[in-house]
Amino acid sequence: MVHAGSMINTLLLSIATFVYVGSMFFYLFGLVFKKKFLDAAGFAVFVGAFLIETAGLIARWVESYHLQYGHIPITNLYESLIFLSWTIALTYIIVDLRYKIRKLGFPISLAAFVFMAYASFSPSVSSRIEPLVPALKSNWLIFHVVTSFFGYGAFAMAFGASIFYLISDWYTKHTNGKVLSYLPSVRVLDDISYKLIIVGEVLLAIGIVTGAAWADYAWGRYWSWDPKETWSLITFLIYVVYIHLRYSWGWHGRAAAIFAIVGFLFVLFTYLGVNLVLSGLHSYGST
Amino acid sequence: MDKVLDRIWRFFSSVKLAIVLIISIVATAIIGTVIQQGLPVETYVRHYGASTYRLLHFFDLFDMYHSWWFELLLILFIVNVTVCTLERLPAIFKMVSKPKLKIPMEKINAFKERQTVSYGGRKEALIASLVDRLKESYRRPVHTSSEEGDFIYLEKGRIARFGPYVTHLSLIIIFIGVLVGSFLGFDAYVNLSPGDATDIVRTTRGNQDLTLPFTIKCNDFHIEFYDSGIPKAYKSDLSLLRDNRQIARKVIDVNQPLTYRGITIYQASYGQAGASDFSIVLTSSNDGEEDLSLARNQLFPLKGDISIAVLDYSRNYQGFGPTILVGVYKGQKLQSTSIYLEKYPDFHGAEKIEGYGIRFIKAHESYYTGLQVAKDPGAPYVAGGAIVLIIGLLMSFFSYRRRVWLFIPEKFDGTFTVAGVADRNKYSFEFEFEKLVGSIREICSPTVEGKDTVPPSPSDKGTKDGRR
């Protein structure tokens, strides 16, 4: 069934996908030609893409009411990929406004684009608005998904900052101490990566706790070692190790950056791998 | 004996042990997500073969999260966390309640964050304006003097010192909740058809019968489907009875359980029970309309030795909604089949059989309700522990204790030292320290201070020692 309305959200979201590509090229040229105005243009286009994406998500939410399903658009693989790119974009915009690290725009716009494109163009991902199965009809859904996904967004940003750390660090080592001037200093990158990880860790903790509360409310079991639960706990513990290494043993710099990059692989597996490879309750990957 | 205890205590008080245990828990927890847990034995044997099955079974890998070795890892981890907390907490209390207001010169010289600031006026004016102006960003600058000189002590983020211990405490609370739940609680299930009642449920782990202090009666079960065939809602109308008297009644839904005296009944699942009935209308030009209700595969004689039967049913046949497959029999022999759609009665011209038209009205499927019955007196502790966990994380992460000493020597020669240290987060502190020194310079600059000061000469505008 094709409803006239159901075109608007997917249309807006497809447009946002291409606008993200546009901002990515501005950022890329900004990196290559080292011109400030290219970065500024990249940021402006990026914010534009983000606003279109926001409009698309709102349209989708409204359209789900027209279909009489009426639920927030975060309930299947398509919606979760779009929402993940949205949280990453919003996290980046906030961090940029606070720390002025425009250069991170390239990996971030790339990530936003990749998740959007996977959602829009992969034949295995359906963009249809699906009704909710009874288990998902709960007010916990919003808290649980929003906190978890902003956690993923923060970890993704920390991942980007850590990659830049390694690039900058590598450059300095191979040029006898020259500094890669167009990236933030390694100190700033290390600090941002650490701060985003603790933000991500708190959000992930809240995501796990709300998930457990919900499970207890729906099934009388707050923890059942379902693969998604287990992997989110594993990811949480990986960053617990990061935090203790940093606090107790003073790990920072290159070692911390490598740790943050490996940690993000765990985040990715928790988000996508569990659904695509393993089986369990979080069914959005089975479409 | 004391020596042994002492060594055990020290073993458990190390962060290194914590990291080793966490990594072991992570590594083993992954195994349980790769090998599906809790499947029937035959499934494993078929999948892995008998000998591999025996090996994996020996290590409890099919129920590994409840195996003795995994639980041992968790217990060791909790002991580790507890000992670490007890070991460090008293010192932290002392450190926080009695801060070192004065600090010897050798220590100051060892700080990484250390700068000299110059000031052209009198010492007393300097101290007064520093204490006054620094109040804006530090809660309570403390001024003390000794023979060597004057100290101004600044501190921020004291609460952060307790953050990690609050976090660790929360794990202990959660662990207590888990223990209480596993000893005093239960988790069971029961399937009931509408009209049935029972006070016996089966435990999820161990598969044993358990008698409840009341009887659960299923008055009714109701299920709705979306057009696509996936369930929209399922609800059970339940009564709880004791001595044949009703003590509670509620229509439960997924996410809407019924709780009575600590025992909660959840709508967990549903299933098809027994045969389904199909309402069909037969039309013929001679006899008019006739309503039929047929069970699956029940033969209905139509005319002579021709009879029909509903052979199959689909809730959503190729997107066209509920559909039945009807077979036409001559004697006991299947002659032909055709399909009839609930929503599109004229589909295929609604094929007639021996002059009879068939209209499919509705399928009456009979279901049983799957109920989960659980009691967990430990859950409130776990919930409380979870809240403490979040508070502890917020305390630890969004604040950190940093201390700054301003040392103004007894023989004031126009320069004084600012030195600071952060308990952790040293990198962020570098930025903050630079900002603080900047604002101290501003306080000391003549534009702000006015009459009492002479502009500092550029040469002694603060030297950055302690750093190359």
ipTM of the shown complex = 0.88
Count the alpha carbons within 13 Å of A247 in the hemisphere toward its beta carbon: 20
Say yes or no for a CB contact (<8 Å) between B33 and A227.
Answer: yes
- Report how far residue B168's alpha carbon sits from residue B179's, in angstroms, rounded to the nearest whole number: 17
In a domain, B71, yes or no: yes
- Strand ranges of the sheet holding B357-364, from the earlier edge strand across to the other edge: B288-295, B277-284, B357-364
More confident residue, B388 or B431: B388
Pick from A212, A231, A245: CB nearest B386: A212
In a domain, B468, yes or no: no
A202 touches chain B (CB under 8 A): yes
Residues B138, B72, single domain; the answer is no
- Report how far residue B214's alpha carbon sits from residue B198's, in angstroms, rounded to the nearest whole number: 9
Phi, psi of B198 (to 5 degrees): -160, 155
More confident residue, B20 or B106: B20
Residues B348, B230, single domain; the answer is no
Say yes or no for a CB contact (<8 Å) between A187 and B430.
Answer: yes
Q: What is residue A3's predicted lDDT score, i.e. its pLDDT?
A: 45
Domain span at B432: 102-157+400-460
In a domain, B416, yes or no: yes
Cβ partners under 8 Å of residue B466, min gap 6: B109, B111, B112, B113, B114, B115
* Average pLDDT of the segment spanning B76-102: 89
Say yes or no for a CB contact (<8 Å) between B26 and A234.
Answer: yes
Question: Residue B15: its chain A contacts at CB < 8 A?
Answer: 244, 248-249
B25: nearest CA partner in chain A:
A234
More confident residue, B457 or B96: B96
A274 touches chain B (CB under 8 A): yes
Say yes or no for a CB contact (<8 Å) between B255 and A249.
Answer: no
- Report how far residue B102's alpha carbon sits from residue B108's, in angstroms, rounded to the nearest whole number: 10
Residues B22, B142, single domain; the answer is no
Say yes or no for a CB contact (<8 Å) between B427 and A190.
Answer: yes
Q: Is the dihedral of CA A203, A204, A210, A213 positive or negative?
A: negative
Chain B segment 408-437 residues within 8 A of A by beta carbon are: 424-428, 430-431
Pick from B164, B187, B397: CB nearest A202: B397
Residues B85, B136, single domain; the answer is no
In a domain, B394, yes or no: no
Residue that is last in its domain, among B78, B95, B112: B95
A33 touches chain B (CB under 8 A): no
Model confidence band, residue B350 (pLDDT cutoffs 50, 70, 90): low
In a domain, B186, yes or no: yes
Do residues B212 and B218 lie in contact, with contact meaning Cβ atoms separated by under 8 Å? no
In a domain, B143, yes or no: yes
In a domain, B467, yes or no: no
Kindly report the CATH number assigned to the domain that includes residue B128: 3.30.160.110
Residues of chain B with pLDDT > 70, as a percent, come to: 94
Residue that is last in its domain, among B95, B112, B132: B95
* Nearest C-alpha neighbor of A189 from the set A76, A104, A246: A104
Residues B259, B374, single domain; the answer is yes
In a domain, B395, yes or no: no
Rounded to a whole number of angstroms, the distance from the CA of A182 to the nearest CA of chain B is 20
Number of H helices, E strands in chain A: 9, 0
Q: What is residue A58's predicted lDDT score, i.e. its pLDDT?
A: 94
B224 touches chain A (CB under 8 A): no
Q: What is residue B455's predicted lDDT score, i.e. its pLDDT?
A: 46
Rounded to a whole number of angstroms, the distance from the CA of B382 to the nearest CA of chain A is 9
Q: Which of B13-22, B93-102, B273-282 has the lowest mean pLDDT?
A: B273-282
Residues B225, B250, single domain; the answer is yes
Model confidence band, residue A7 (pLDDT cutoffs 50, 70, 90): confident
* Average pLDDT of the segment spanning A182-201: 89
In this predicted structure, the answer to whether residue B366 has a pLDDT above a threshold of 90 is no
More confident residue, B121 or B214: B214
Say yes or no for a CB contact (<8 Å) between A220 and B37.
Answer: no
A177 touches chain B (CB under 8 A): no
* Nearest C-alpha neighbor of A237 from the set B417, B6, B396, B20: B20
CA distances from A109 to A55, B61, B173, B386 (A): 18, 42, 42, 35
Q: Which of A110-114, A124-128, B161-165 has the lowest mean pLDDT?
A: A124-128
- What does DSSP say about strands B149-156 and B142-145: parallel, antiparallel, or unpaired? antiparallel
Residues B296, B444, single domain; the answer is no
Residues B348, B417, single domain; the answer is no
B253 touches chain A (CB under 8 A): yes
Structural domains in chain B (count)? 4
Residues B319, B246, single domain; the answer is no
A262 touches chain B (CB under 8 A): no
B391 touches chain A (CB under 8 A): no
Q: What is residue B349's predicted lDDT score, i.e. its pLDDT?
A: 56
Model confidence band, residue A152 (pLDDT cutoffs 50, 70, 90): very high
Average pLDDT value for chain A: 87
Say yes or no for a CB contact (<8 Å) between A248 and B232.
Answer: no
Residues B385, B355, single domain; the answer is no
Number of H helices, E strands in chain B: 11, 20
What single letter denotes the amino acid at residue B383? A
In this predicted structure, the answer to whether residue B273 has a pLDDT above a threshold of 90 is no
* Average pLDDT of the segment spanning B172-177: 95
Residue that is last in its domain, among B79, B95, B111: B95
Cβ partners under 8 Å of residue B274, min gap 6: B193, B366
Residues B381, B240, single domain; the answer is yes
Residues B338, B376, single domain; the answer is no
Rounded to a whole number of angstroms, the distance from the CA of A236 to the nearest CA of chain B is 10
* Nearest C-alpha neighbor of B29 from the set A78, A148, A55, A223: A223
* Average pLDDT of the segment spanning B119-124: 85
What single letter denotes the amino acid at residue B71? E
